[in-house]
Structure 1
Amino acid sequence: MNELEQLRRAMRATEGPYHDDLDLTAIMRDGRRLRRRRRFVGAGATALVTVLVAGGVGLGVRWVRPPAPDRPPVGGVVAPTGASPATPPESAPTGVSPATPPESDPQRRPVGDVVEAGIWYGVDQRVYYVVAVDLPKVPGVRIGLMAGRRTPAGDLTDDIVVNDVRGSDRRPGFHEIGYDDATPSAARPPVPTFGYFVGPVTRIVGTVDGRQVDARLAPWSTDPELVIFWFDPADLAPGVRLDGIVARDRTGRLL
C-alpha cells in the first residue's frame, strides 16, 4: 500500500466522505510537511528530556549555560595560564639585633654631638652618637644609635648600631635596645647595653635577676626629647638581657 492510499484511508476514517474535486496531490504534499514538523518537534523534546535527566535538574532549578572557554565563570577569576600564585607581602621584622658594622663600611658621620660615656679602654673612650640610616621600605626611620669609640685625636670607630625597623624613629617611648653578642677581643672591647627613649624622661631603670639597675642618660643635642641611655658595665655586664625596663619623668610618673 503506497502513501496516497494510506492517506485516503485515514481521511475516510476521521473526516467522512470527500468531495470529488479534492486536490489529492496538494493533500499529500501537506501531509509530508506535517510529518516532518512532528518529527522535528519530537526530536527536540527528546533532546530536552535527555539534558534534564542527565544534568539532574529538578523542578525549580535553573540550568546555566557553561562559560565560553575564553571567559571566566561568573563571580570568579581565572589566572592566566602559567601564572603563579601571588607572593604574600613580606611581613615586617619584629626587631633588629645589633651587629658589628663590616670593616668595609665607610665611617658613619655623627648627627649632632658625640656623647661621652665615661668608660675607657686604655686611651680610647666609649661614646654614643646618632647616625643616619637608609631604610627605603620604612620611610619613618631615618636615624639609628651607634656605640663607638673615640681616640685622643678625635677619630671615631663604629662598633654597634641599632635602629627601628618599623613605624617612626621619633615615636614616644623606648626604641631598639643594643646588646653586645660578640665575644670580647683585643680588636673590639665589649659594648655596654644602650638605647634611646623619646619623651620627657629623667630616670630609666632596668631589672635583671630581681635587682634594679639605673641607666645613665644624655639628651641628644639635635632634639632633647630623644634621650640616649646606657648601663655601666660594672652594674650590668655587656650582653646580659634585661628582664624589664621602665622610664619615669621628673615627678616619678611612669612614661
Structure 2
Amino acid sequence: MTELDRLRDAMRAIEHTAAPLDLAAVMREGRRLRTRRRVAGAGAATLAAALASVLVMVAVGARPGDPPPVDRPPPVAVAPTPVAVPTTPTSEKPTPPPSTPPPEPLGRIVDSGVRHGADQRVYYVVGVSVPGQPQVSIGLAAGRRAPDGALTTDILVNDVQGSDRSPGFHQIGYDERSSAAPVPAFGYFVGPATRIVGTVDGQQVEARLARWSVDPQVVIFWFEPAELTPGRRLDGIVARDATGRRL
C-alpha cells in the first residue's frame, strides 16, 4: 500500500466517525508524504549516478580502488634483429686454363742422339705465322720425345722478317735457362752445306747436321753438349759445301 492510499483511508475513517476534521493532522501527513517523495527522488538520483559510475568503470576496465589511469605512449613496433643464415659453400673446383697443344711437326723428326733420362732430344720443323711477314711460315723446335712418342717443345726459333728460305744462316737457338734437360745450341742453314763449324774462344767446334725431309735445302744443325756447353754463345759460325767452299 502506498502513502497516498494510507492518507485516503485516514480521511475515510474520519468521515465514518463523524469526528471533526483535524486539519493540522491532514497538513502534517501531506508534508510527511512530500518529504518522503523528495527523499525518494534524491535517492533515486543518487542511485542512478552510482550506477552510471559503475557502468563507466566497467566500460573502461577499472575496479574500485584502482589508481587513476596514466597516459602511456603508444607501443612502438621494433623490427626483429636480422639473423645471418649461413650459406653452404659450393664445392666447385677452379677450371684449369686450357693447355696449349705442342706444335705439329712438319716432316720427319730428327733424333740428335742426346738423351735426357728415357727421353730423346729431338729437332723438328713446325709451321708459324708472323703478322705482316707472309714469307715467314716455318720455325725450328728443340724438344723431347718420350718413349710413348709424346713431344715436349723446349725452344722454338723462327725469323721475324724477310724470308725463312733465303740462303744462309737463320735464327740460332740458345738455352738461356738452367734445367734438367739443357738444350744444345741449334739452328738451320739454307743451302748446300755439308759442314758447319762454330768458333768459341778461338776454338772450332763442329756441328752435327740433318736435312729436312720436306726441303733438303734446309739443313738442321746442333752442337754436342760435351763440345759446346748449352747456353754458351758462339763467337762465329761458317758453312761449307762438299768442296770445302765457304757458303
Q: TM-score, normalised by structure 2?
A: 0.60
Instruction: Please give the residue correspondences for 1:229-240 in structure 2 after superposition, counting only pairs within 5 Å.
Output: 229-240=221-232
Tell me the distance in 1 between the aligned counterparts of 2:134 and 2:175.
27
- The code of the aligned residue for 1:184 comes to S
Q: State the Cα distance separating 1:107 from its structure 2 match.
A: 1.2
The equivalent of 1:181 in structure 2 is: 176
Q: Which residue of 2 aligns with 1:120?
A: 115
1:227 is aligned to 219
Equivalents in 2 of 1:153, 1:183: separation in Å?
26
Where does residue 141 of structure 1 map in the other structure? 136
Q: How many Å separate the matches in 2 of 1:152 and 1:228?
A: 23
Q: Distance in 2 between matches of 1:203 and 1:132?
A: 26
Cα deviations by residue, 1:93-136 (Å, 9 ceiling, x for unpaired): xxxxxxxxxx9422111000000000001110000000000112
Which residue, 151, 159, 166 being the options, matches 1:164? 159
Output aligned runs, 1:1-255, within 5 Å.
104-185=99-180, 189-255=181-247
Task: Give the aligned residue type for 2:234.
Answer: L
Q: Which amino acid aligns with 1:228?
A: I
Q: Distance in 2 between matches of 1:155 and 1:164?
A: 26
The count of aligned residue pairs is: 150
* 1:183-223 deviation per Cα after TM superposition (whole angstroms, max 9, x unaligned): 224xxx11000000000000000000110000000000000
SS of equivalent to 1:221: coil
Structure 2 counterpart of 1:11: none
Aligned-residue Cα RMSD (Å) equals 1.0
User: CA separation in 2, counterparts of 1:104 and 1:205?
Assistant: 38
Greater Rg by CA: 2
Q: Which runs of 4+ in 1 moved over 3 A?
A: none
Classify the secondary structure of the residue corresponding to 1:168: coil
Question: What corresponds to 1:56 in structure 2?
Answer: none
Separation of aligned partners in 1, 2:198 and 2:107? 27
Q: Secondary structure at the match of 1:176?
A: strand
Structure-1-length-normalised TM-score:
0.58
Counterpart residue identity of residue 169, structure 2 = F
State the identity %.
67
Describe the SS at the equivalent of 1:167: coil
SS at match of 2:172: coil
Give the aligned residue type for 1:245. I
Q: Which runs of 5+ in 1 are unaligned?
A: 1-102
State the alpha-carbon separation in 2 of the partners of residues 249 and 152 from structure 1.
36
Distance in 2, matches of 1:121 and 1:243, equals 27
- Partner in structure 2 of residue 73 of structure 1: none
